[in-house]
Structure 1
Amino acid sequence: MLEKLWYLAVSAVIRNREGKVLLLKRSPDDEINPGKWDLPGGKPDPGETFDRALRREVYEETGMHVVLTEVAGAGELDLPDKRIAYLILACDVDTEEVRLSPEHDEYAWLAHGEIRDLDLAEQFVGLFAAFR
């Protein structure tokens, strides 16, 4: 049996001034987690640091510039063909203007208690379980 390859990914818990968190809903035809709510993020490019990768991914997916504040969590996702290790970083922004990429078709700024009602991507269920 072949061993699955591991990949690294970064995701952002973006908070606005009121402490609400930005969640993005994946497009229904997206390859990964179609129609699920998730956090902005993705894989670092070769030689790219985690912080630079996260800033780039957040900008590509939302048009926002973020300030990284702390590590919010980590996790892993076991897919049929690969495994992904996630580093989740908390970020602050000074705007709520979001420009969505084609990967997502909806966004919401939500209080922690509102997140429990969403159909979350599997890798983020544990992160938000404490808010249920």
Structure 2
Amino acid sequence: MLTKRYAFCFVFNKDGKVLVLKRADFMRKRPSEWDLPGGTVEPGESEAEGVVREVSEEAGIRISNPEMILSKGGHWKGEDHHFTYFRTDFDGSEIRLSEEHTDFEWHHPLVAAAMVAFTPHRLAFGSLPIK
């Protein structure tokens, strides 16, 4: 069975707040939910390459050398999934959302953790050193 791979990123601004994106209401999975930038890792990509691409596609920002903070697999709805979470610092460039998202906000990690409904994301927030 093929494992579905996903990579997401905690993007921090200079104030220590994390970027969250609001998914568009037409999205098939998790419409109108607050989310972390990231998504499916394509065949032939490493998780780091996938998260760099996804953050660029979803938020219009370039990141380099994201730091892996959590890598965890699991079985859900009859399929194997693997989630890798990274962190990086925001360079201050302009956020340009894709059509998959309608809004973005910056929040303290504890606030952002309460905003996201996706269980793997909520668990991943626990891996962050929170000040």
TM-score by length of 1: 0.82
| Counterpart code for 1:10 | A
Instruction: Work out whether 1:72 is the aligned partner of 2:69.
Output: yes
Please tell me whether the aligned partners of residues 48 and 66 of structure 2 are also in contact (alpha carbons under 8 angstroms).
no
- Larger deviation, residues 21-30 vs 65-74: 65-74
Which residue is 2:36 aligned to? Answer: 39
Please tell me whether the aligned partners of residues 62 and 98 of structure 1 are also in contact (alpha carbons under 8 angstroms).
yes
- Secondary structure, aligned partner of 1:66: coil
Instruction: Work out whether 1:100 is the aligned partner of 2:116.
Output: no
Instruction: Tell me the alpha carbon deviations over residues 95-115 of structure 1, each in whole angstroms, 9 at most, x when there is no partner.
Output: 152111111111111112322
Question: Within 2, Cα distance between the matches of 1:40 and 1:55?
Answer: 10
Instruction: Work out whether 1:15 is the aligned partner of 2:12.
Output: yes
Please tell me whether the aligned partners of residues 26 and 33 of structure 1 are also in contact (alpha carbons under 8 angstroms).
yes
- Distance of aligned partners of 1:61 and 1:49 in 2 relative to their CA distance in 1, 3 Å threshold: same
Which residue is 1:88 aligned to? Answer: 85
Q: Structure 2, unaligned stretches of length 5 or more?
A: none
| Counterpart code for 2:67 | E
Instruction: Tell me the alpha carbon deviations over residues 14-73 of structure 1, each in whole angstroms, 9 at most, x when there is no partner.
Output: 111111100111112212211221111122222122222111111000000113342222
Cα RMSD between the aligned structures?
2.2
Q: Structure 1, unaligned stretches of length 5 or more?
A: none
- Secondary structure, aligned partner of 1:57: helix
Please tell me whether the aligned partners of residues 11 and 89 of structure 1 are also in contact (alpha carbons under 8 angstroms).
yes
Which residue is 2:23 aligned to? Answer: 26
TM-score by length of 2: 0.82
